[in-house]
Structure 1
Amino acid sequence: IGRYFIDFVHPNDRNIFASQVTKGLVTPKNTNQLHDEGQSQSELYSTLFCRIRRYRGLMNDFKVKGKSVNHVPFQLKLSFKNISDNDGTNIFLVIRASPICSSFEVPNEVTKNDVSFIIRHIADGTIEYVEPEAVGYLGFLPQEIISKNVLQLYHPEDLMYLRQIYEVIVKEGTMQRCKSYRLKTQNGEYLKVETEWSSYINPWSRKLEFVTVKHHVVEGPTNPDVFQMVTANNEPKLTEEQKIKSQTLIDDIIRTMNEVLTKPAEIAKQQMSKHCQEFASYMENFWDDLMKTDDESPAAIHAPENKNNEEDSIMHGLLSSYQYFSDSVSSTDTSLS
């Protein structure tokens, strides 16, 4: 009591914690209006994952400084609460912390139910989104895995197969659930997943923007504690030749995502060309019809100058442009009930 909570948060997670306290509560995930005394007037909360320091107890002596500092992953739910007393109203930050445990209990555990999580990465392999459900299976917190290169998480021996998958994705746009391959966890081990693949092609640049993967967990890692940090003892050892081969395959996959002409992009190009041709043909026919109307209307051309004939101006397009505009607006607007 009396200590700052942020002192117990892992140093690498303090920025995300401070950011969620400010930004997360401005755009809350849930709002329930409450008016009971002691309750918050607006129950706004924000969730995040972070590691909290484990308590170092006094066992046989008072040498606490010599003991190693361990942090445990938690999911936090943050909210503000107004409490009134004789001194006035004070605002408190309420933190509900739930420990996060590994989703696996035994080595190489085979999943009985269909469990999955989604990861999205851009064309150079950089991860830009991961579902919270992935935390218990990979051992990485969202802020740890975002901005990592997903290709570095693939097992080196599976990169040859994955290069073929990315070639199919880039050319076809999607791929159904593939056969199993290995994905690295926080502790340096690998779990087995089967993946559904999809991609987004920018219709203007006709280049691949990002790939969305839905991983179905098939088998857990040899070490079921996915949150255990990698050490020199459990870090996978690769020979220099294996490292060069892995990096070559990774470079090939990145080159495939950025250079290979995709089938969806070619379809988008053809559709855009077709629309342009149709529009040009429409404007050409419209102009020809308008010229014919002018040639076949001598009365309108030789009309007396002192006669103000609105109908002639309508026929010559002064009002038809407005009418076309108003019709197009009415066809796209949606009435509000």
Structure 2
Amino acid sequence: MNDRTTGDGTRNTSGPTARHDRMDRVTQPFVAHRNLLFTVAYEMLGSAADAEDVLQETWLRWVGVDPDTVRDQRAYLVRITTRQALSQLRALGRRKESYVGPWLPEPLLTTPDVAEDVELADSVSMAMLLVLETLTPTERAVFVLREVFALGYDEIAEAVDKSQAAVRQIAHRARAHVAARRPRGAVSAAETRRTVEAFQQAVETGDLQRLLELLAPDVVLLTDGGGVVRAAPAPVVGADQVAQVLGRIADAMSLQPTQINGDPALIVRLGGEIDTVLALRVDDSLVTGLYAVRNPEKLSRLERATTLRR
């Protein structure tokens, strides 16, 4: 054994046992907070694949830290994750500039407890993630850390490398921006579920009149094919136009109700295989937004639920 008493009576802690103990002290807090860190990164990026990359970078930096010197390990890990996500977010912005057609967040199959946490479900909904896309990277980081994860301004200031006064101003600006773009009317989870069920039935039965009753006059359909599969190159706007597109689904495809990003949604299958994830935004019991993700690269996490945490 390398961990043994030396001639002067001191303990040798440089051997495999000591290294193993240190690795345990590093690994345990990372594993304990991993779902939280993933949620932070995902809310900032809207991409599970990029969020996983951020977590890998976070781990590489965390493993070089002596955990015994860190007073608040959760805050420290969130700070590392935020900085890595900000860097990734700026790179992602450049990629989106050359993206073919509308860009939509990567949908996640979520566990029932996400829907039960109303604030978390709202923050990861497809509609909210699209609202967050309209913020600058720093605004998005500050909004997510403050409004979703309730971090103090001092912790956020360290994470985004700004003064506390600047962070307060950024938070105020981001809140106002998001508030102006939130759903028009508060809708309960039960009401959303009923609307989605009625929508599914109308599409499956080809009931055009019922479908038009459920669609808001200014409903918008966004289809993300990523240039890989067929998709509308621009938003489809208006109940009549959207209903025409939806009317072509029922003939060849089946609709499966599910929970996507904390909200009721539909998985569209073709020949038994997942073809599209269809998320709905419901305001005042009407469908005001439809988000159809068809890009195969964004459909890889739908076989198992993703655990999100605040």
Report TM bin, short chain: under 0.3
More helix by share: 2
RCO (CA 8 Å, sep 6+): is it higher in 1 or 2? 2
The structure whose Rg is larger is: 1
The alignment's TM-score, normalised by the length of structure 1, stands at 0.23
The alignment's TM-score, normalised by the length of structure 2, stands at 0.24
